Structure 1
Amino acid sequence: MHTWHWRNWEGLPYLTCSILEQWDHGFFTQQFWPRSPQDLTEVLQSKASVYRLKQVHGNTVLTPQEIDSLLSTLGDDLASADGLISEQPLQAVWVASADCTPVLIGDVKTGRVAALHAGWRGTAKKIVPLAIARFQSQGSQIYDLRIAMGPAIAGEVYQVSIDVAAEIGASIIPYQDEQKIVEALHELPNSPLLEDSNPGKVRLDVRRVNSLQMENMGISTEQIAIAPYCTFQTPEHFFSYRREKEKKVQWSGIVSRKTSS
């Protein structure tokens, strides 16, 4: 089993996971608000260059080089995307989340990393499989990847409509029909869907859907770690948009390192 550790920086708590022990990384708490990724990179690795995005609930995954060329063309401050994948050592990649799932990935062979923002929309659009495909296009092998999904809203408290459940379910179930997709989801072992007492509603475990997408790509459960924390149910550490309806976030980041070869 992968273990999660609370770390302290100047008395402030953040989380790390043993599955990513080869990399400087952290899932930061609301106690760090409103510090920027620039500030937080100092906590992890002061020599790293810092990359973040304007997150738009999509499935675009960019490299630092792509960000630099986009920004020079558009003249914007931030590139719009929901995933970042490193190309060089000492690149710190960051995503913000409030109930959505922050996903950090590392390749033990190449040292490359990715940070992804996977809410229900990004998950329905398969942002994690797309990021993994980018790792493969850079020469990564599936079995060298290590994935940690950070604190996010848990299935037992995340009520969604049947439509949303079907849209996200279509990413792992090959049916067209909404009803059939939902029925098939319910039948899965350790189903990502839980019953809800309200008609037309279900409870949805988004992190479980992401795990199933990865398993469909040949990633083993040993390569995936899921934080045992729910943002909605842990107000002492995490912002939850559902709970507070405030536009605040916590940051999650990881720093690429030199290759192991």
Structure 2
Amino acid sequence: MKKPVNILLEGIFYNGHGLAEGNRILLGILDRAGYRVRIEARDASEKDLTLPARDVAYISSFENNRLPSNDVYLYNWVGSEARCRPEFRVNIARTTFETDRIPAGWTHELNQFDEVWVQSWFNLQTFSSSGVHVPLRHIPNFFDMHRFSPKGPKLSLPIPESFIFLSVFDLKKRKGYDALLQAYLQEFRYEDDIALLVKVRDEIAKERLEHYMSQLSVPSAGSRRPPVYIIDQMMGPEDIVKLYRSCHAFVLPTRGRAGGGPSSKLC
């Protein structure tokens, strides 16, 4: 009987980041395929933020698994923290970056790995041109396509308008939230029966967003702004899916996106 491959999977698993969602799904794939997996969770202190107790219990059950042999080390997180583990027979780093080159400090360490996995065809070129010479593989992000179905329960929203745009993002300039808000406030009026719903992580982000909007002018003096609603709390996976179903169009004019697939962040 063939012995199972032993894998150490390091990254984030519990919080609302898209890579945490991907790692949760990757862990399930490896487990169902019969691999023996231990995880090193860089966000172990965030277990109680968003996930249901059953998911937390399943993920945390892999934290103390014993690996009889060091077969594969799979690091799935930001490139600045990647460190090769020479005690493992095979070392794989999976990471991403959104601009036309990676930080210079990443290259040497990534070249210590046996392979580097990237999330997009764009990153195959940018990592290679930045000096990563070990084999590069295109491995898109992991997500559950069946979960993102328009059919199913919706989130009850206290929004009276007939058409709702939805945007979900961290409050970072590269997400293009400034371009989104400027375009929305210039294009629509209060009377248009339309709304923009923005999902951010916390009250601090909400306050910054409201301050930014207060500095934007409307096209004509005296006209009322179209409504912008803000959700400023973390949401679990099921509620995020219900939120998508409750809106009519998703908008995100991002300035940099190296990954692929639908936005499944819990932010």
Please give the range of the TM-score, normalised by the shorter of the 2 chains.
under 0.3
Larger proportion of strand = 1
**TM-score for the superposition, normalised by structure 2:** 0.27
Give 1 or 2 for the bigger CA radius of gyration: 2
Higher relative contact order (CA 8 A, sep 6+): 1
